[in-house]
Structure 1
Amino acid sequence: MKPVRRFLVGVVAAACVATVTPAPAQAAVNPVLAAPYLYQWGNKPNGVTVMNQTGIKAFTLAFILSDGGCNPAWDGSRSLTGADATLIKNIRAAGGDIVPSFGGWSGKKLGQFCSSPAALAGAYQKVINAYQLKAIDIDIEAQEFENATTQDRVLGALKIIKTNNPGVRTVITMPTERTGPNTWGKRLVTRAKELGTPIDVWAVMPFDFGNGGDMFAYTKSAVDGLKNHVKSTFGLTDDAAYRRSGLSSMNGKTDTNETVTPQNFRDIVGWANTKHLARVSFWAVNRDRGGCSGSGSDCSGIPQASYEFTKALTKFTG
């Protein structure tokens, strides 16, 4: 009986081995593609909760600013090792990822307080190292945007970053007019070519044009204007230029009382898929709920379901 038992045990063990298959590897999250902005003031939704309720996999975390010198800090005051680091860790543990955004409309910008491209690259590098990043977003506005010296400093720094971190994707997000980038925006793209700075994604913010209007139509027009300038500057085809272009909308009421409706945004996402844009985002998850009037930081100012814009963004595939 002992030989038979050994044979049966061997057969059972072999069968068990044969039927066990390894779990499929989790696909890497592209933190650039579909990553709405999430900020840590006012209404602060839990990132993991948002992921579980919507299916979104990435966030653009706002903002990295200057602490008064050439040193990066969240909103200019919070350490890279504090609560924001915990938020990033939790999002990644839940299967997601993040891209930090440097700049924004207000506050002290690193591009102003760092004295050279090398110094600014060093500030960017501190954040890349702190979080082992796959991408960074430079939301260039106000004092950084409308200044030739500062534009060149940012582009010089990003060239250094690409040289030292070839796997890190670089995104520049900037204001726009209805027909595409303004003079400063066009200069920024052109100077990137002249300086040899390899920007992976150029994105415009198609809102705050003025009171009212068809925001879906305005968004398409603004992105097309961006695409056309990227195309002519770098000698690309339409398809290749679209694949290096993107947008960041604003959900609900904008600062100038325009309205981006949930249907507008669903249409934007659908159109962006047909053009294979590199990025679609919006400002912001914190506002992705109804219950207030006018433009605010805690809700959209329009009737909507909770996280309606975030859910729509999960349909963007690039």
Structure 2
Amino acid sequence: MPDHVAAPYFEAWTGESPAALAAASGNKYLTMAFLQTEAPGSCTAYWNGQPAQPIAKSTFGKDIATIQARGGNVIPSFGGYSADTTNTELADSCTDVDAIAKVYESLVTTYGVSRIDLDIEADSINNTAGIDRRNKAIAKVQRWAERTGRSVEFSYTLPTTTTGLAPNGVALLQNAVDNGARVDVVNIMTFDYYDGATHDMAEDTKTAATGLHAQLAALHPKKNPAKLWKTIGVTEMPGIDDFGPAETFTTDNAVTVKKWAAARGINTLSFWALQRDNGNCVGTGGANNCSGIAQDTWYFSHAFKSFTRR
């Protein structure tokens, strides 16, 4: 992965081609959401929790290879709100750490990816047993990667307040430290604050990331402050988020955040989600297929894509 990468989320359940939308939008990198189990108790992960979509080259393999051939890559993502509230997030569902690790490894060997994202929110961020299993599995995969000469990064995508992670997010990262699991990127979702306030979403991104930086410094006191910034990611929700108009990420906000992210040197700049990057439903909040604001199609993709650099 590049040292600084723009990688918007792609909603993998829509039936669309990630390679086609990546080309149309000008994105070289995508975060593909989501992988989860079909039912609680299972240790088998599928794309969208659907047995017809296993981790196999027959599922998205051609698309991923096409994206890689263009010089990009995808970041498979586990969890998400739906899985995190139905006990089908892999480490919540599966109680076998070795089996969890094998699923992560299978993504690397099947698709040739080099980063795995873990979107942990809602019930999952309070599931201490699942958190511990997940971090133990991460550590196992990292030891496997070292033995086999592979490069595998892990990112955690977590909810945030406007001033940093809530205590349960910090506890998740502390557990990673305790288990010897390296978290390469902590990616905060800078939207859906649900605090009843009217937000300047760009400014709140800055304060949330600054708060996270301080929290990471406390967890890793020996790390250089500049290097800590290189382990931070932010994910925006273009337009009107799930809360409503008081939390609207505007086109001007996108320009501000991209400039700030480049100057600060964070690792990842993302948004939820690629299929929302159009202005086809002005006034609608929280839609899966449009931003709810007046914008050119692919505006946010074009605003963020120059962030990617080695």
- Asked if these proteins are the same fold (TM beyond 0.5), I'd say yes
Does the 8 Å contact 1:63/1:102 carry over to 2? Answer: yes
Q: In the alignment, which residue of structure 2 is the partner of 1:307?
A: 298
Partners of 1:259 and 1:31 lie apart in 2 by 29
Q: In the alignment, which residue of structure 1 is the partner of 2:13?
A: 41
RMSD across aligned positions (CA): 1.8
**TM-score (norm: length of structure 2):** 0.88
Residue 241 of structure 2 aligns with an amino acid whose one-letter code is T
Q: Which of structures 1 and 2 has the bigger CA Rg?
A: 1
Residue 46 of structure 1, CA deviation: 4.1
Deviates further, 45-54 or 97-106? 45-54
| Correspondences of 1:146-225 after superposition (within 5 Å) | 146-166=126-146, 167-210=151-194, 211=196, 212-225=198-211
Q: Give the direction of change, closer, same or farther, for the CA distance of 1:247–1:149 in structure 2 (3 Å limit).
A: same
Q: Which one of 237, 243, 264 corresponds to residue 253 of structure 2?
A: 264
SS at match of 1:106: helix
Q: 5+ residue gaps in structure 1?
A: 1-28
SS at match of 1:281: strand
Does the 8 Å contact 1:31/1:58 carry over to 2? Answer: no
Q: In the alignment, which residue of structure 2 is the partner of 1:283?
A: 272
Residue 317 of structure 1, CA deviation: 3.8
Partners of 2:16 and 2:203 lie apart in 1 by 31
Does the 8 Å contact 1:56/1:313 carry over to 2? Answer: no
Q: Give the direction of change, closer, same or farther, for the CA distance of 1:63–1:31 in structure 2 (3 Å limit).
A: farther
Q: Once the two structures are superposed, what CA deviation does each residue of 1:84-138 show, in whole Å capped at 9, x if it has no partner?
A: 2232123223332111001111122101111132221122122222112211111
**TM-score (norm: length of structure 1):** 0.86
Residue 67 of structure 1, CA deviation: 2.5
Q: In the alignment, which residue of structure 1 is the partner of 2:213?
A: 227
SS at match of 2:174: helix
Residue 6 of structure 2 aligns with an amino acid whose one-letter code is A
Q: In the alignment, which residue of structure 2 is the partner of 1:17?
A: none
Does the 8 Å contact 1:203/1:245 carry over to 2? Answer: yes
Alignment of 1:255 with 2:242, yes or no, is yes
Residue 233 of structure 1, CA deviation: 1.0
SS at match of 1:165: helix
Residue 94 of structure 1 aligns with an amino acid whose one-letter code is R
Partners of 2:12 and 2:154 lie apart in 1 by 23
Partners of 1:141 and 1:121 lie apart in 2 by 20
The number of residues matched between the two structures is 289
Deviates further, 204-213 or 87-96? 87-96
Q: Once the two structures are superposed, what CA deviation does each residue of 1:61-81 show, in whole Å capped at 9, x if it has no partner?
A: 110111221011000002223
| Correspondences of 1:47-126 after superposition (within 5 Å) | 47-68=18-39, 69-77=42-50, 78-81=53-56, 82-107=58-83, 108-126=88-106
Partners of 2:3 and 2:102 lie apart in 1 by 22
Q: Once the two structures are superposed, what CA deviation does each residue of 1:9-41 show, in whole Å capped at 9, x if it has no partner?
A: xxxxxxxxxxxxxxxxxxxx6397211000133
Q: In the alignment, which residue of structure 2 is the partner of 1:9?
A: none
Does the 8 Å contact 1:273/1:316 carry over to 2? Answer: yes
Residue 213 of structure 1 aligns with an amino acid whose one-letter code is H
Residue 156 of structure 1 aligns with an amino acid whose one-letter code is K
Q: In the alignment, which residue of structure 2 is the partner of 1:3?
A: none
Does the 8 Å contact 1:31/1:98 carry over to 2? Answer: no
